[in-house]
Amino acid sequence: MMGTRSGDVDPGLPHFLAEREEVDSGVVLGWLNQESGLLGVSGRSADMRDLLDAETAGDERAALAIEMFCYRVRKTIGAYDAALAGATAVVFGGGIGEHSPEIRRRICTGLEHRGVRLDADGNNATVGSESTISADGSSIRVDVLPVDEATPLALDTVRLVRGDEGGRVATR
């Protein structure tokens, strides 16, 4: 689940929605990629800051969107922990991960059984900077790491435009 993207869906859902709503599959893909996620659940915004403000003001759909987002991230952390036969660190990056101590706190709440312990003061003080926010005694390290996605994409674009196919090319 992302700002406007649905996240995991049953593969039969697009066909079902297209038939039920009598629309082209392209319309359904638009819904799933541009009108779902935080925006679709909240009916308000894809911006976590707006949703946190709306939740504080009593907006139940905003609260549900935030709860679903945090649950999905926590579930993914658990899946990777299982797949790796034990995690040694959780790293938060990107807009929400770098800038929202509250969301980091909510995601980590429920991971205590795996040894995740946040330093509340460290978490709250870390906004947009690199820091370890796990508490002393946490068996899994928790870090915030600023991410610069634009620079590598720009460099890859320059390489492609110049015809340097031997250079690194960003993939998704």
Taking only the tens place, the pLDDT of each residue in 71-80 is: 999 999 999 9
Q: Which residue ranges form the domains of the chain, and what is each CATH number?
A: 1-86 (3.30.420.40), 88-172 (3.30.420.40)
> Which pTM value belongs to this model?
0.84
Question: Which of 1-5, 140-144, 153-157, 165-169 has the weakest average pLDDT?
Answer: 165-169
Sheet of strand 141-144: strand arrangement: 89-92, 141-144, 131-132
In terms of Cα–Cα distance, which of 84, 103, 95 is closest to 142? 103
CB 82 within 8 A of CB 114: no
CA distance 73 to 108: 9
In terms of Cα–Cα distance, which of 113, 106, 117, 108 is closest to 77? 108
